Amino acid sequence: MKYDEQHIIGYLNEEVIDNFIPQQNAAEDGENQEPWPKAYAYTGTETDGGTVMKCENPGDYGEVANAIIRSKYSESQELAIQRHAINGDYSESAQEYMEYNEWCTQAVATAKRWVLG
């Protein structure tokens, strides 16, 4: 969703929680509370779990994908990971590259779903 003229807000890293009992309900007079069948949690920096990302054109899935990637990796981090993977500079590079590549793949799929439907 568009947040302002230069940013979007998205809800990343969705966690599905089955049989969720809200804290406010759990504390009420010690009564047994019926759990909600399903709840969702997000790991963003905003109080509702959203993540605000720089993106000037929320209608362009490439820009949205880049915004999602940048929410975890800066451009310099991305280039360093790629250099380390290509050069084999340190033993963690294969795992680090795999995690980075997974994030990018998810970012593209998420951006396509958000923008293209």
Full-model pTM: 0.77
Per-residue model confidence (pLDDT) at position 96: 87
Where the chain has pLDDT below 50, the residues are 27
| pLDDT 10s digits, 40-56 | 888 888 888 899 999 99
What pLDDT was estimated at residue 87?
83
Backbone angles phi, psi at 53, to 5 degrees: -130, 140
CB-based burial of residue 95 (10 Å sphere; 0-12 exposed, 13-18 middle, 19+ buried)? exposed
